[in-house]
């Protein structure tokens, strides 16, 4: 089939390549003319047969929203827009409603795979009406891994990004789980070879996983992770997962712990702990540390 | 080689079988004469050539301690005792010291594998002097999985059980991670097929793992887990992991969250929440629920 | 001064009384004619001299929003609306903007005090322009406690409800703190008189507080809290506090723990714990509990 | 009455003074001859009439244990030793048993009060047999605050230190509660005067407390706490509280959060977060920060 693909960054570019390898035609558009196949959204839409399918792979929020609005002007009844970006799931319903009066279908699709996706395939979680899913199905089949898993029609509009969001929330907590174990193993003298312990877990244990494999790979590069700072960004999905939990009165203590550990990792000095230290000083005459000048030793 | 094996329950019995399949001789002893190869510890020790290697596979705590003490009377210089049970790692040093004056070596070994171990092999984490490890190595080779992983000499005496303990702590937190995601996916109407979402994650995703595979297997049996109560025991290692973290000033918030969720899951009515409700009632005139009689609806 | 007061429920009714006791005139309106001083918003507004000050004390969300919209039609330049309800702080900016084109001032005011407020005064946290605060000041003075504290102009529009929200988040966590201590004290045989221990803490300790006094009062009524179910609602501010933390990358682990404990307290059976139990059953042959029929013993 | 008091540091010295002000005779012993009333334990014991009461106020652990052992040699049937230090409650039973064969009574007493204790009195939580409590009662009466609270006979031997331990665990969590609120209030532009918000809470609110008063005092000294590092020690009782919770399957998530925040506050760079960053880097090509040289900016 023929597909329009908007957004040809690292992720979108690799996806174009994988879809083409599967024998489909991809018309790609990007603001960067060096990677773009066409000069404009109009040219992209004009190049596609009906029903036209356009996959949007641009940053979440305003860029995605603006792209969907622009496409609404160019597409018509029976066409389908797929949002494959990292949109918040609550945006999906708004986009679907925006498009409905022109009869344009909307599918949201969470995409996992990262730098391995081109070769190994992308895990895909889609939401939307079955008739729209069906139109896009050849693209899903091209992108997904070869095995029997990695692709799901999760439910209604929003279900794709919701599932991907929860996937990432789980990912945060699993990473935190291994990280706590690593710190603890390194804390006692008896365990002399922490990397080998982690490596041994790759087979025959309850906790074997791909993330464990990745951690061992990282430890093989740098046994003590001395070249990596204890600093982790968060990308939105972790926050949204915790907030979705709160909205639904679902406790997510492990996922939340993982998110908060990242927040704290980015602080040079914790304001909350300043307050704790100040209170201790007031009631007990506990020694407090004077804030060192920037760069000073605080540990 | 020839091995004495004490404790022939579900775990020990399968291990005896796997070691024998590898061509070694196992003399097993159990208090249950139906499964025991010999009538007594004395008979077991008498049946082994020197250096005698005896693997203890009995419940942690007093039973293991008593067995080690009894073996001390029967063994001598150059012999080796392996504790393959779920002992707390702090017991290992005590056992090693107990045996040292007779020159009996001690190795602690954490064993993972459960009901799959007989066929797939057991993951093994051992601690002890290299010379003692070397004596037992053929047994480790027989028990471990066939691949390149699943076996590690983690460090000094105690390192094996410490590593296994941390493994289990990580396991608690990973299970909690998936569990939170499952509850959240089920909480919104948009996601219509939670089991299929989990199944799709088995390939191409960041969170693919063996525990995920197990959860999908369970969901295939019972999509809503309606036949399973939200109640989980904890077996000691999770508690010890958190306590080891505290002893070493290592924060383990995700593992702790998993442990506490299990504690709470076993309470019909939370005393702490009674106190919260009582305070709310005092200051705000908030309605509190009267405790229902046993069996009454409280949710 | 003269004040219009909309919403005469338990809270609003007591506030009307306290303001009147201070010598001010209050024109109250409520949908319930039995408590209302006037028949309509129009009548309320008509009864006030300029600049007209109207205090809105209705449920947060749509009811408050609709009331503000209706008042916008009736008020004009220089008049001031105060939202004294439990609104989410993000609503305040929207209300202020709505009113700005007619020159109507907006003040948000978080109010704490509950059933003691009539006699002891209400703690007030207000946000808005100083000129609008000044207009309302006599009412604040009437409502606040007699001592030197209990009233603050916290900052810009939104700061009042934000401060009240954080107050409530802190309140959740402090209540949880005492509650955990209570459960723990009751868990060991050595402590024979838990209520007396709590009572003793009321003086001379680091943790003396009004919430502690309340808990002791509750324990004096019912030593084991046997008549109170371990079940706690949450009223919005706790959730908003955690979400505000996430929006600002501020970790709030104690407040979050308190919120999640309430979520879990309202579940008969935890879905997440079902998933944990299901995984344990898969890998270890651990016994799981079959879900009991409604009302059955699960603990 | 006459009391022997061992340990005349900041705490013990003040306690001696307060007991003397109440009209009792105190014979104090300290290794530092400048503050000691007598030259030796022997001299201290010799100076007391029977039944001799000796209050031990030395560091927990070995120093307390050694002092109790030394006193056992010097005391006899009907005498009473009080351990008023910060001992772990599990030590108390051991001390009581040690002394029982000579008929020496043992009382454990948790003491709260800090630098205010001399003037305001000390909150006291005692454990032991009523007959031993009765012998020491005049000293308790001298030390406790003047009001009706601040003193409790909590239960059997160990109950005093257990109650004090839980008191401190609660204290950790309450401090954390305010600290989280402080960090959050400071994180938004709308709240322009955080110190005044906290000050306003001192009256009429649900969260008024002595710790709040202390925090306001600290903020009055240094509005932004810019002279205090976000670094907090923990003194043992917090750890023991969490461990006691684990031993009794009592979840203490807020107290634990407070403890872990202190652990993390003392780390320059979190090993766990290094592991998280390393995993992120492996799967996503996420930029990681290279560890800066000591003193470099990591935030």
Question: Is the CB of B275 less than 8 angstroms away from the CB of C214?
Answer: no
Q: With a CB-CB cutoff of 8 Å, which residues 179-218 of chain B face chain D?
A: 206
Give the neighbours of chain D: at least 3 Cβ pairs within 8 Å.
A, B, C
Tell me how far apart the alpha carbons of residues B72 and B104 are, in angstroms, rounded to a whole number.
Answer: 8
pLDDT digits (tens, 9 = 90+) for C57-109: 999 999 999 999 999 999 999 999 999 999 999 999 999 999 999 999 999 99
Closest Cα in chain A to D283: A114
B270 Cβ neighbours under 8 A, 6+ residues apart: B264, C183, C230, C261, C264, C265
The pLDDT-based confidence of B116 (bands split at 50, 70, 90) is confident
| CA D146 to chain CA mean position, Å | 21
Option in B123, B145, B180 nearest A254 (CB)? B180
Count how many pairs of residues, chain B against chain C, have C-beta atoms within 8 Å: 237
- Indicate yes or no: CB of C175 within 8 angstroms of CB of B280: yes
B273/C265 CB distance under 8 A: yes
Residue A171 known to be catalytic: yes
- For residue A140, the number of C-alpha atoms closer than 13 Å in the C-beta half-sphere is 25
Give chain C positions within 8 Å (CB) of D173: 173-174, 176-177, 180, 254
**Token pair recorded at residue A79:** 């066409």
Q: What is the pLDDT of residue A113?
A: 79
Q: What is the pLDDT of residues A180-220, one digit of tens each?
A: 999 999 999 999 999 999 999 999 899 999 999 999 999 99
| C180:D163 CB<8 A | no
The string over B248-277, giving b where at least 16 C-beta atoms fall within 10 Å of a residue's C-beta and e elsewhere, is ebbbbbbbbbbbbbbbbbbbebbbbbbbbb
Nearest-angstrom CA–CA distance, D111 and D126: 9
Say if strands B123-127 and B105-112 run parallel, antiparallel, or are unpaired.
antiparallel
B277 touches chain C (CB under 8 A): yes
Contact between chains at D206 and C171 (C-beta distance less than 8 A): yes
Contacting residues of B for A185, CB less than 8 Å apart: 162-163, 166
Closest CA to A67 of A24, A20, A12, A23: A12
- Euclidean distance between CA atoms B39 and B43, whole angstroms: 6
Angle between helices C237-247 and C253-265 (to 10 degrees): 140
Nearest to D249 among B247, B263, B272 (CB): B263
Residue B296 has pLDDT above 90, yes or no: no
Contact between B246 and D262 under an 8 Å Cβ cutoff? The reply is no
Q: Where are the domains of chain D?
A: 2-156, 165-271
Band of residue B297 on the pLDDT scale cut at 50, 70, 90: very low
Tokens for C128?
């808005």
Q: What is the pLDDT of residue C235?
A: 84
| Strands of the D123-127 sheet, one edge to the other | D25-29, D2-6, D53-56, D80-83, D105-112, D123-127, D151-155
- Residue C289 confidence (pLDDT): 52
Q: What is the pTM of this model?
A: 0.94
Q: Measured between alpha carbons, how far is A151 from A158 in angstroms, rounded to an integer? A: 16
Mean pLDDT within B272-285? 88
Supply the pLDDT for residue D44. 98
Q: What is the mean pLDDT of chain B?
A: 93
Pick the CATH number of A165-271 from 3.20.20.140, 3.30.1360.20, 1.10.1040.10, 3.40.50.2300: 1.10.1040.10
Residues C272, A251: C-beta atoms closer than 8 Å = yes
The number of C-alpha atoms within 13 Å of B122 and in the hemisphere containing its C-beta is 28
- Interface pTM, i.e. ipTM: 0.93
**Burial class of residue D115 in the structure, from the number of CB atoms within 10 Å of its CB (0-12 exposed, 13-18 middle, 19+ buried):** middle
Q: Tell which CATH classification among 3.40.190.10, 3.40.50.720, 3.40.50.9100, 1.10.10.10 matches the domain C2-156.
A: 3.40.50.720
Please state whether the peptide bond connecting residue B293 to the residue before it is cis, i.e. omega within 30 degrees of 0.
no
- Rounded to a whole number of angstroms, the distance from the CA of B194 to the nearest CA of chain C is 12
Task: Measure the CA–CA gap between C240 and C262, rounded to whole angstroms.
Answer: 15
pLDDT at A286: 56
Please indicate if any CB of chain A lies within 8 Å of the CB of B157: yes
Checking DSSP bridges between strand C53-56 and strand C2-6, what pairing results, if any? parallel
- Asked if D176 and A280 come within 8 Å (Cβ–Cβ), the reply is no
By the CB < 8 Å criterion, does C266 face chain A? yes
Which residues of D fall within a CB distance of 8 Å from C162? 185, 188, 190-191
Matching fold, domains A2-156 and A165-271:
no
The whole-number pLDDT of residue C22 equals: 97
Q: How far apart are CA A174 and CA A215, in angstroms?
A: 12
Catalytic residue among B2, B72, B93, B171: B171
Rounded to an integer, what distance in angstroms lies between the CA atom of residue B290 and that of residue C3?
A: 41
pLDDT digits (tens, 9 = 90+) for A172-187: 999 999 999 999 999 9
Q: Cβ separation of D149 and C184 shorter than 8 Å?
A: no
Residues of chain C with confidence (pLDDT) below 70 = 285-299
Tally: H helices and E strands in chain B: 12, 7
Of residues D197, D211, D253, nearest to C261 (C-beta): D253
Closest CB to B190: pick one of A159, A210, A250.
Answer: A159
Q: Does A295 lie at the interface with D, CB-CB under 8 angstroms?
A: yes
D-chain residues near A253 (CB < 8 A): 253
Q: D182, D284, B289: which is closest to A270 by C-alpha?
A: D182
Model confidence at B40: pLDDT above 80 = yes
- CA within 13 Å, CB half, D181: 30
Confidence of residue A70 (pLDDT cuts 50, 70, 90): very high
The one-digit pLDDT tens for each residue of chain D (299 residues) are: 999 999 999 899 999 999 999 999 999 999 999 999 999 999 999 999 999 999 999 999 999 999 999 999 999 999 999 999 999 999 999 999 999 999 999 999 999 877 788 999 999 999 999 999 999 999 999 999 998 999 999 999 999 999 999 999 999 999 999 999 999 999 999 999 999 999 999 998 999 999 999 999 999 999 999 999 999 999 899 999 999 999 999 999 999 999 999 999 999 999 999 999 999 988 875 545 544 333 322 22
Do the Cβ atoms of D246 and B243 come within 8 Å? Answer: yes
Interface test with D, best of B166, B232, B263, B278 (most D CBs within 10 A): B263
What would the two tokens of residue A111 be? Answer: 């995409």
Please compute the mean of the pLDDT values over residues A85-100 and round it to a whole number. Answer: 97
CB contact under 8 A, C193 and D145: no
Which residue out of B221, B227, B272, B284 would a mutagenesis test of the C interface target, given it has the greatest number of C Cβ atoms within 10 Å?
B272
A268 with D292: Cβ contact below 8 A:
no
Which A residues 14-53 touch B at CB under 8 Å? none
pLDDT digits (tens, 9 = 90+) for B224-251: 999 999 999 998 999 999 999 999 999 9
Tell whether C286 is within 8 A of chain B (Cβ): yes
Whether residues B275 and C115 touch (CB distance < 8 A) is answered with no
Q: How many percent of chain B have pLDDT more than 70?
A: 95
* Predicted pLDDT at D115: 76
A77 touches chain D (CB under 8 A): no
D239 touches chain B (CB under 8 A): yes
Residues of A in contact with C242 (CB under 8 A): 242, 246
Which segment of A222-226, A254-258, B66-70, C288-292 scores lowest on mean pLDDT? Answer: C288-292
Residue of D22 and B288 predicted with greater confidence: D22
More confident call, B294 vs B116 = B116
Long-range Cβ pairs for the range D234-237 (8 Å, 24+): D234/D172, D234/D259, D234/D262, D234/D263, D235/D86, D235/D168, D236/D60, D236/D86, D236/D88, D237/D86, D237/D164, D237/D165, D237/D167, D237/D168, D237/D169
CA C12, chain centre distance (Å): 14
> B77 CA to chain C: closest CA distance, Å?
38
Inter-chain touch C211–D207, beta carbons under 8 Å: yes
pLDDT of residue B289: 53
At residue A116 the predicted structure's pLDDT band, cuts being 50, 70 and 90, is confident
CB within 8 Å: A249 and C266: yes
H or E element at residue D279 = helix D271-284
Q: Do B272 and D249 lie within an 8 Å CB cutoff?
A: no
Structure tokens at C167: 């107050």
Residues of C in contact with D241 (CB under 8 A): 184
Whether the CB of B290 is below 8 Å from some CB of chain C: the reply is yes
Q: Strand C151-155's sheet: what is its strand order?
A: C25-29, C2-6, C53-56, C80-83, C105-112, C123-127, C151-155
Cβ-Cβ contacts under 8 Å, D202 against chain C: 149-150
Residue C291 distance to chain A (closest CA, Å): 20
Tell me how crowded residue B134 is: count the other CB atoms within 10 A of its CB. 12
Chain A, residues 106-135, CB within 8 A of chain B, namely 112-114, 117, 120-125, 127
Q: Chains near A, with 3+ CB pairs < 8 A?
A: B, C, D
Q: What pLDDT is stored for residue C295 in this prediction?
A: 30
Distance from CA of A258 to the nearest CA of D (A): 9
Residues of C that are catalytic: 164, 171
């Amino acid at each position: 089939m023929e597909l329009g693909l908007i957004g040809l960054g690292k992720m979108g570019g690799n996806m174009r390549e994988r879809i083409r390898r599967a024998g489909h035609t991809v018309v790609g558009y990007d603001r960067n003319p060096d990677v773009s196949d066409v000069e404009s959204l109009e040219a992209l839409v004009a190049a596609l047969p009906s029903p036209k399918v356009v996959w949007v792979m641009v940053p979440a929020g305003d860029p995605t929203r603006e792209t969907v609005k622009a496409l609404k002007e160019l597409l018509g009844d029976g066409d389908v827009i797929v949002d494959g970006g990292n949109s918040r799931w609550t945006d999906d319903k708004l986009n679907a409603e925006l498009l409905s009066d022109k009869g344009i279908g909307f599918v949201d699709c969470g995409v996992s795979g990262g730098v391995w996706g081109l070769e190994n395939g992308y895990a895909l979680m889609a939401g939307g009406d079955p008739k729209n899913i069906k139109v896009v199905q050849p693209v899903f089949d091209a992108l997904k891994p070869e095995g029997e898993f990695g692709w799901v029609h999760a439910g209604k509009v929003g279900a794709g990004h919701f599932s991907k969001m929860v996937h990432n929330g789980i990912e945060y907590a699993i990473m935190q789980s291994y990280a706590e174990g690593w710190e603890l193993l390194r804390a006692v003298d008896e365990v002399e070879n922490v990397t080998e312990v982690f490596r041994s877990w790759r087979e025959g244990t309850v906790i074997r996983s791909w993330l464990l494999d990745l951690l061992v790979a990282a430890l093989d590069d740098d046994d003590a992770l001395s070249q990596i700072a204890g600093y982790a960004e968060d990308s939105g999905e972790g926050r949204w997962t915790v907030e979705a939990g709160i909205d639904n009165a679902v406790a997510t203590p492990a996922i939340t712990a993982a998110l908060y550990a990242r927040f704290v990792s980015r602080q040079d000095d914790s304001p909350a702990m300043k307050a704790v230290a100040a209170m201790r000083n007031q009631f007990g005459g506990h020694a407090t540390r004077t804030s060192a000048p920037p760069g000073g030793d605080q540990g």
